[in-house]
Amino acid sequence: MNLQFYLLPTIIAAVEAGIATLDVYHQDFKVEEKSDKSPLTLADMRSHEIITSHLTRFDIPILSEEGKTIDYATRKEWEYLWIVDPLDGTKEFVKRNDEFTVNIALVHKQTPVLGVVYVPVFQRLYFAAKDFGAYRMEIEDFSDINVASIDQIVDRSVLIDIKPKTERPYTIVGSRSHATPELEAYVAKKREEHGTVEFISAGSSLKICQVAEGNADVYPRLGPTMEWDTAAGHAIAENAGALVFQSDNGEPLVYNKENLLNPWFIVSNGKH
């Protein structure tokens, strides 16, 4: 499969969906509660509709947070699938702290091989594919995305990797909305190992991107996440040189499991 063929339409889908979320974000909006007690807004649904309208042109099934009731007996036969979070960080969206994203990943045999993360408020785009690299683009004109080739988008982007760009202390990035005692213990342990430790709080898949572009050394997720929360960021992190593994056994984080809940995991630049 030529992954580059899928990158541009995936980017367009994410950016258009992100624009739709901003239309809701800048209005008074209602917050509903899903069956798992997590919040749902009109932005989630609009983003889902836009993304699926773009991706259904391909003969690849879609697993989305807003369309997740697909039986595992069906899913397990899928060699490729899209895993989509139309609005990652709904809690951040509701709090209006700007740290929410649109996440789209292409997964092959349980491994993310392409990922796009778009940050609507900051007009920042992250994208990556296997054997292609990971990139960040600051979008100045949305119309450029629709007419550009993937090569033109790459030309306007910055190749990212996990190397720190400046001298800084050992840096941990963690959840703004989901701190746990286990995370506090992890930070305390790293302070014993490294002395000075800086801690960055961030929302949504921005945490994974902080490691991918060298702003943090590690993101320990010692709490629950779902596959659509991480698949796109996972692809970006790995193609920037990061390691993504289960915290208890060091095994890879895999996708399209029967239970879509992720185990606890670590995203690391390898600097322990």
CATH number, domain containing residue 44: 3.30.540.10
Residue of 94, 160, 168 whose CA lies nearest to 126: 160
Q: Give which of 2, 15, 18, 209 is closest to 106, Cα–Cα.
A: 2
Q: Is the pLDDT at 253 greater than 70, yes or no?
A: yes
**Do 185 and 254 fall within a single domain?**
yes
- Per-residue pLDDT averaged across 120-136, rounded? 97
β-bridge mates for residue 146, sequence order: none
pLDDT at 37 over 60: no
pLDDT per residue as tens digits for the range 210-239:
999 999 999 999 999 999 999 999 999 999
pLDDT of res. 26: 86
Taking 70 as the threshold, does the pLDDT of residue 42 lie above it? yes
pLDDT of amino acid 142: 77
pLDDT of the residue at 38? 66
What does residue 85 show for φ and ψ, rounded to 5 degrees? Answer: -120, 105
- The CATH number assigned to the domain holding 209 equals 3.40.190.80
Do 201 and 69 lie in one domain? The reply is no
> Do residue 82 and residue 174 come from a single domain?
no
For β-strands 170-175 and 197-202, DSSP reports them as: parallel
Which residue did the predictor score with more confidence, 229 or 145?
229
pLDDT band at 32 (very low <50, low <70, confident <90, very high): confident
Do 24 and 148 sit in the same domain of this protein? yes
Domain annotation covers residue 78: yes
Distance CA 266, CA 247 (A): 6
- Most confident range (mean pLDDT) of 68-77, 176-185, 207-216 is 207-216
208 in a structural domain = yes
In a domain, 164, yes or no: no
If you write DSSP's letter for every residue of the chain in order, what string do you get? --HHHHHHHHHHHHHHHHHHHHHHHTS----EE-TTS-EE-HHHHHHHHHHHHHHTTSS--EEEGGG----HHHHTT-SEEEEEEEEE-HHHHHHT-S--EEEEEEEETTEEEEEEEEETTTTEEEEEETTTEEEEEE-S-HHHHHH--HHHHHHTSEE--SS-SS---EEEEEESS---HHHHHHHHHHHHHHSSEEEEEE-TTHHHHHHHTTS-SEEEE-S--BHHHHHHHHHHHHHTT-EEEETTT-PBP--S-SS-BPPPEEEE-S--
Q: Are residues 65 and 91 in the same domain?
A: yes
Judge if 122 and 196 occupy the same domain.
no
Q: Are residues 150 and 176 in the same domain?
A: no
Q: Is the pLDDT of residue 24 over 90?
A: no
Domain boundary among 159, 183, 209: 159
pLDDT of residue 1: 85
Q: Say yes or no: 12 and 117 in one domain.
A: yes
Same-domain pairing of 89 and 187? no
Which band of pLDDT confidence, cut at 50, 70 and 90, is reported for residue 245?
A: very high
Mark whether 131 and 184 lie in a shared domain.
Answer: no
Same domain, 136 and 29: yes
Classify residue 34: in a domain, yes or no: yes
Average pLDDT of 10-26? 93
Give pLDDT, residue 44: 86
pLDDT at 28: 79
Residue 221 belongs to what domain range?
A: 170-268
Tokens of 178: 């989901």
If one counts the domains in the chain, the total is 2
Residues 182 and 150 occupy one common structural domain: no
Residue 165 maps to a domain: no
What is this structure's pTM? Answer: 0.94
State the average pLDDT over residues 251-255.
97
Rg (CA), the chain: 18
Chosen domain end from 135, 159, 183? 159
